[in-house]
Amino acid sequence: MIRYNFENGLTIHEIKALYGAVGFDEYLKNVAETAEGLANSTIMTARDDDRLVGLIRGVSDMHTILFIDDLLVLPEYSEDGVEEELLKQFTDYFKQIDRIVALGRTDNVTKLLKKAGFAANDAKGSSCLVRPRHLLEIKY
């Protein structure tokens, strides 16, 4: 039976297993940094016994906005409704939040988000833009 719980962080081993299984290799380039980022986020996990089989991660001010970045489930659990349940329980927890923004990193997650009522924001002058990390360049 799958259990859904909020957790404070994950082990490096769990991060490697889950993120690697779903092909999110960019998170594995610096697993310690990923672990720190997860520890500073709100995470709901899905576990089969003690095995991590999925997670959803968000960042929120707890009043006006929630940003959902990751919704990951091991491929062998993808047909079991784990993604849907993670999204449902997570958004139910944040039901007081007026605006929830979610990043659909895969076609499957994008379809799930649309099914759950998420839509592209086509309001004039409103877009979701992402800037990659800019490291300081030392110029001599």
CA atoms of 4 and 127, how far apart (whole Å): 32
* Helices H / strands E in the chain, number of each: 4, 5
Q: Report d(CA 121, CA 113) in Å as an integer.
A: 13
pLDDT per residue over 75-133, tens digit each? Answer: 999 889 999 999 999 999 999 988 888 878 788 888 888 888 888 766 555 556 566 66
Asked if residue 59 has pLDDT above 60, the reply is yes
Cα 33 to Cα 108: distance, rounded to the nearest angstrom: 26
pLDDT of residue 128: 62
Q: Of 40, 37, 42, nearest to 58 (Cα)?
A: 42
Q: How confident is the model at residue 58 (pLDDT cuts 50, 70, 90)?
A: very high
Question: Regarding predicted confidence, which is higher, 105 or 48?
Answer: 48
6-19 pLDDT per residue, tens: 999 899 999 999 99
* Class of CATH domain 2-115: alpha beta
